[in-house]
Amino acid sequence: MPVPLLDIGRQHAGIRNELRAVLEAALDSSRFIKGPVLDGFEERLAAYCGTSRAVGCASGTDALILALQAAGTEPGDTVITVPFTFFASAGAVVRAGGVPAFVDVLPGTLCMDPAALDEWLDTRCEPTPDGPVVKGSRSRVRAVIPVDLFGQVADMDSIGRTCAKWGLALVEDACQSIGGRWMGRRAGSFSLCGCFSFFPSKNLGALGDAGAVTTDDSDLADRIVRLREHGGQGYLHSEVGTNSRMDALQAGFLTVKLGRLDSWHEGRRRNAAFYDRELAEVDEVSVPVIDPAAWSVYNQYTIRAVDRDGLLEHLKSRGIGCAIYYPLPLHMQECFRWLGFREGDFPVSERAAREVISLPVFGELEEMELREVVDAVKEFYSRRSSGRGAG
């Protein structure tokens, strides 16, 4: 039985009429950019995340860039993030004018290691009246971007204390974790700002590209509003920004979906629990490690697997959707060679890149499909151990 990695159509089947109504309302009003639909979505998103403001923009990548710019990132500033994440976490730093620096992830959750962050700052930086600078250079350390990987919020308490100690902006990459929690609080509410992606495959997905920034800092929110509109209002510009508006259409679609998001989360968590139980007996597989303080929304269900590449090919041969997030850590990417990193610099991230594989987990999966996935994983390792091969 083929099992897709994701089937957005199943999610849309139950809300098709509401989505169509959003489109028809936009056609009737001819209001496609900004307006009351976007305002309403921003208000609902802020309330959902537990912040006072939310600002819609064109993508999750733009959310990160705009947040860094609004936080005062200047050319040459250092911004610390992790190497095991989607490219935008570091790519946005460069686009905002900064220089990425990396600290490794925890071997369990694969989120930023707070101790590694502390060590990096303690050994490589010195305080100045204008904030920490990298020793032996003039590069000021401006911000830290922890990533809520695969739907699990990073240790925002520990990372937040470190940022407060050093006077650094904490910009949460929550692009995979909307609705996820740390100590009961939702993603995007811990930091100076939280950045979200509404790419169609996300738990809260638009029907195209879209993103948002959440914050409790009204001045920062106002600046992001300006930056997304070329740095001004109308034809008066106080700074140079960009064109990164969220379409009213996408805001309307997302408003429909936001009301169902928590029930969709429960479907993903139910499926993840099924995998946890069924795969616990497979010695060659490690199921996701979830910190007791976290409540994951499982944007991906990502296991660690012996002979990962062999398992990947086996699952594909059975028509089972699977993917590797992420096959090459950022510090080893060609475009970041100029940063001077080498293989071995971040061993936890490098090992994860060799072992991870993500399985279907979307909430509309049937139990027989989940069983098909589990049986295929068990079949692969049974054949492998018996020396009969798999595929």
pLDDT reported for residue 138: 83
Which residue stretches of the chain have pLDDT < 70?
388-391
Q: How far apart are CA 304 and CA 324, in angstroms?
A: 11
Query: If DSSP states are collapsed to H, E and C, what string results for 299-353?
Result: CCEEEEECCHHHHHHHHHHCCECCECCCCCCHHHCHHHHHHCCCCCCCHHHHHHH
In whole angstroms, give the CA distance from residue 379 to residue 240. 57
Q: How far apart are CA 156 and CA 215, in angstroms?
A: 15
Q: pLDDT digits over 39-74, tens only?
A: 999 999 999 999 999 999 999 999 999 999 999 999
pLDDT-above-90 percentage for the chain: 95
DSSP state of 107: T
Instruction: State residue 390's pLDDT score.
Output: 57
Contacts of 213 (CB under 8 A, 6+ apart): 54, 55, 57, 63, 66, 67, 70, 193, 194, 195, 196, 221, 224
CA distances from 268 to 199, 259, 273, 371, 378 (A): 18, 16, 9, 15, 21
Which pLDDT does position 391 carry in this prediction?
A: 52
**Among residues 52, 27, 49, which one has the least CA distance to residue 37?**
27
Residue 155, phi-psi category: left (phi > 0), alpha (psi -120 to 50), beta (remainder):
beta
Q: Closest Cα partner for 182 from 80, 116, 91, 114? A: 114
Provide the residue count of the chain: 391
Q: What are the structural domain ranges in the chain?
A: 8-258, 261-386
CATH class in words for 261-386: alpha beta
Q: What fold, for 8-258?
A: Aspartate Aminotransferase; domain 2 (3.40.640)
Tell me what pLDDT residue 388 has.
65
